[in-house]
Amino acid sequence: MRISIENGKVLDPSNKIDQKQNIFIADGKIVSLKKKPDGFSADITLNAKDKIILPGLVDLCARLREPGFEKKGNFNSELHAANSSGITSVSVPPDTVPVVDTPSVVEFIHQRAREINRANVYPLGALTQELKGEQLAEMYLLKEAGCVGISNALVAISNTEVLRRAFEYANSCDLTVFMYAQDEKITNNGVVHEGAISARLGLPAIPETAETIAISRALLLIEQTNARAHFCHLSSARAVDLIRTAKKNGAQITADVSICNLHLTDMDIADYDSNCHLNPPLRSERDRVALIKGLCDETISAVCSDHQPHEDNAKSAPFSMTEPGASTIEHLLPLMLHLVNRNEIKLNRALSLLTSEPAKILGVSKGTIENNKNADLCIYDPNKNLSIDKNNLFSSGKNTPFNGWELQGEVTHTLLNGKVVFSRKYAYDSSKDT
């Protein structure tokens, strides 16, 4: 299959490309930028006039709900939703059923990804067996099976000695530990940020110290073990300060933030909107601003969707009894560019946070546009208006806190290995693929 993408503006911050040029693709790879190769005859020509061509996005955290939670979603529906936002690479946490703590589960994920063939899927292996925080998982075998990192997902490891041994084992395997930092005791079954809103609504709260104490403990162990770690989904200003200081002191750490925490605060929960029940919780406007500052000064290295689709019943109970998480994957790019339009972050930095930077964290060669590399690309129309309607989501989960939002721009095409896996014109037809 030969494809030419013509008349578009190519943006790739990692390679400092910002100009109008054509892209020529053959056998799944980019064979030329600008100049048409001798004898090249395209099977498909995509006219990208007035559109922007970007590297395929890399999402550091998205739950595809397989195996074990198929009633909430599946690889086909959720990767189709990902493609609609230009995402071509996805990292999935290990909290599936069964847990990703054996090579057989890793192979199942890889097999499903090959069958669907909508995105590169990179599984994280479990840090401890069954995510119980007691016995270490066989990290070396998980790495050999294809895991790009190790995580205990949302399950806190209360035993500090177990966590220390986990860092040591991961370091010996040259694996990055992906940490969700939250102290279980201080969290104490809370569901929202501790502040005026939690007090007014009478909801159990999670103070920022639940995050900062867990980060501080982990940083001391990282220093002792010389391990490489990534902190997932920062939510508070104080957490950003801790990561900033640790990086200045030479710690081998990176961090990300969820797209929801860059747009929403605890004020959005005011009417008990269960779609705003997230983990970590939405915090104050001060925290939101600090997170954006952390992105701008490179303290935080990536933005992820933290996609968690749910069936309707999971969000239909009283707020405290609902399941946390939001369906966010298919609006990751428009929501990020919304911050650019509001002058909260520069365009090149915003794009790098969704492409080359998360790819570096995963240790994969993605998120760039280069000759002889796989043609993972998306075409974005900045002149289209996008209205978010939960009833029209490609994802099986309709639990979006952004329902009714009006955004500017939408993805028109997504290519994976030189194959068009999403086209806005035929989007609904492609959702029927198996």
In the residue annotation, 306 being an active-site residue is answered as: yes
Q: In one letter, which amino acid is 298?
A: E
Residues 6+ apart with CB under 8 A from 294: 234, 240, 243, 244, 255, 257, 300
Residue 192: CB atoms within 10 A of its CB come to 22
Dihedral sign, Cα of residue 303, residue 410, residue 311, residue 120:
negative
DSSP β-bridge partners for residue 231: 179, 255
Q: Tokens in use for 391?
A: 């009833």
The DSSP annotation for 341-365 comes to HTTSS-HHHHHHTTTHHHHHHHT-S
Residue 273: CB atoms within 10 A of its CB come to 14
C-alpha distance from residue 36 to each of 2, 39, 100 (Å): 12, 8, 45
Dihedral sign, Cα of residue 401, residue 403, residue 406, residue 412:
positive
**Set 306, 312, 429, 433: catalytic member:** 306
Q: Tokens in use for 375?
A: 């043609």
Dihedral sign, Cα of residue 55, residue 58, residue 62, residue 64:
positive
Residues 6+ apart with CB under 8 A from 169: 136, 139
Active site (catalytic) residues: 306
